[in-house]
Amino acid sequence: MRLLEEGKVIHGKYTVERFLGEGAFAEVYRVSHRLFGRLAMKVFKTPGSTEETEQALDEAIFLSKMGHRNIIRVFDADTMETSKGMRGFFTMEFIAGGSLQQFWQSHGDDFVPVEIAVDLTRQVCQGLALAHADDPPIVHRDIKPQNILVGYDAQGLRACVSDFGLAKRVNPLKLMASARGTRCFKAPETFRDPMTDSCAGDVWAVGLTLYLLLTDRFPYSGGDLDALDIKSFEKPMTPASRLNIQVDRELEQILQRSLAVKREERYQNALELLEDLNRWKPHKPEERAQIKEKLSSQMSKSTLGMPSPTDEKEAREMAAQAIKLSRQRIKLNEAADLMEEAFNKWPALREEYERQIKLWRCGIMIY
């Protein structure tokens, strides 16, 4: 049974519209605020007081007040009565495009284009760099595609890091075992000592996420994520360029340093990684074809769970509805939200409608 039902009104100002998904810590819902429109609401699965909820979110709230484009904004934190008793919740920006995991899976059998994969990773590093530069540094501890949200704003494709600080409030041993999508993004040193999370550990998770976007597989697991342990890192990782011809030597070097098994050989924080990503420029090989090794079905975009099926007909119907909504100025954001959802159904629509969605996010109607 889910914690909230559609139509439930919370504190007289939030109306639950629909369930969006869940992770190890919380369920996520789209809600409508009576003044501010659509927001996302995360409801914790375990009981907690208002004070505990606010404490779990202190870093997220601190960072969101800085207004960084690549850090999700947190607006409210409180407790409420759910179907399973009193639970803490918080509200944040609603990103209609969903998570980076959904964005990655929407590409089906194709790799995410290298330029896009690097750009999204660069944006993640821009958000993380702000946290890592604090004194003392704020360590995320749970970077993974599910905790990176991807949508559009006036500048174009936007990646936002979410869930800052939540992992710190959870028993590290529980975190390691709670979800495949968390354990497989932990740096090697944490398999020896779960208390060794660091900025360099965040870098590992970012580098692994980039590797996954570029190759559709994990570098060290050998295909069995459930069997991942410290011995898994004794074998050399498969170079990304063997799986995707678009990965050039410079990008390969960035991946190798991001995923160095010894922490001291890794980028020590997100800013160091960001500087190299900013220097990287896409190359243009003679052949643009993308090449993959023959992989088992486990080494595909189903690695982190089965993706939603692509459906061109449904996506184009959603796009047509979005265009219809865009003829009303007050519906432009709603039209953009719907178009982002359509993109995940059929990613080829991005090339057709990316310009329109950026204009809609600026409040500009197209006639």
pLDDT at 144 over 70: yes
CATH number of 100-279: 1.10.510.10
Give the mean pLDDT of 316-343.
94
- According to DSSP, the β-strands at 74-82 and 85-93 are antiparallel
The DSSP bridge partners found for residue 71 are 161
Which residue would you say has higher pLDDT here, 62 or 321? Answer: 321
Position 48 scores a pLDDT of 77
Q: Distance between CA 164 and CA 147 in Å, rounded?
A: 9
Position 287 scores a pLDDT of 45
pLDDT at 176 over 90: no
Give the mean pLDDT of 65-84.
90
Q: Please, what is the average pLDDT of the chain?
A: 87
pLDDT at 80 over 50: yes
Domain boundaries, the chain: 9-93, 100-279, 312-361
Is residue 180 very low, low, confident or very high in pLDDT (cuts 50, 70, 90)? very low
Torsion sign over Cα 216, 222, 227, 231: negative
Contact 57, 74 (CB under 8 A): yes
The number of beta carbons lying within 10 Å of the beta carbon of residue 327 is 12
Position 81 scores a pLDDT of 92
Give the HSE-up count for residue 127: Cα atoms under 13 Å, Cβ half-sphere.
31
pLDDT at 66 over 70: yes
pLDDT at 359 over 90: yes
pLDDT at 171 over 70: no
Is residue 232 very low, low, confident or very high in pLDDT (cuts 50, 70, 90)? confident
To 10 degrees, what angle do helices 249-258 and 199-215 make?
140
Give the mean pLDDT of 5-10.
95
Could you confirm whether 142 is annotated as catalytic? yes
Rg of the Cα trace of the chain?
Answer: 20
Q: Which of 58, 119, 134, 142 is catalytic?
A: 142
pLDDT at 300 over 80: no
Question: pLDDT over 90 for what percent of the chain?
Answer: 60
Which residue would you say has higher pLDDT here, 190 or 56? Answer: 190
Position 167 scores a pLDDT of 62
Position 170 scores a pLDDT of 55
Would the pTM count as exceeding 0.85?
yes
pLDDT at 123 over 70: yes
Position 177 scores a pLDDT of 45
Which residue would you say has higher pLDDT here, 120 or 196? Answer: 120
Is residue 354 very low, low, confident or very high in pLDDT (cuts 50, 70, 90)? very high
pLDDT tens-digit map of 26-38: 899 999 998 889 9
Q: What SS3 string covers the chain?
A: CCCCCCCCEECCCEEEEEEEEECCCEEEEEEEECCCEEEEEEEECCCCCHHHHHHHCHHHHHHHCCCCCCECCEEEEEEEEECCEEEEEEEEECCCCCEHHHHHHCCCCCCCCHHHHHHHHHHHHHHHHHHHCCCCCCCCCCCCHHHEEEEEECCEEEEEECCCCCHHHCCHHHHHHHCHHHHCCCCCHHHHCCCCCCHHHHHHHHHHHHHHHHHCCCCCCCCCHHHCCHHHHHCCCCCHHHHCCCCCHHHHHHHHHHCCCCHHHCCCCHHHHHHHHHHCCCCCCCCCCCCCCCCCCCCCCCCCCCCCCCCHHHHHHHHHHHHHHCCCHHHHHHHHHHHHHHHHHCCCHHHHHHHHHHHHHCCCCCC
Token look-up 């020590």 returns: 268
Q: Distance between CA 109 and CA 64 in Å, rounded?
A: 36
Which residue would you say has higher pLDDT here, 287 or 159? Answer: 159
Position 178 scores a pLDDT of 44
9-93: CATH homologous superfamily?
Phosphorylase Kinase; domain 1 (3.30.200.20)
Is residue 169 very low, low, confident or very high in pLDDT (cuts 50, 70, 90)? low
pLDDT tens-digit map of 11-23: 999 999 999 988 7
pLDDT at 46 over 80: yes
Position 288 scores a pLDDT of 43
Q: List all residues 6 or more positions away from 154 whose beta carbon is below 8 Å from its beta carbon.
A: 358, 361, 362
Give the mean pLDDT of 283-311.
59
Position 196 scores a pLDDT of 87
Is residue 200 very low, low, confident or very high in pLDDT (cuts 50, 70, 90)? very high
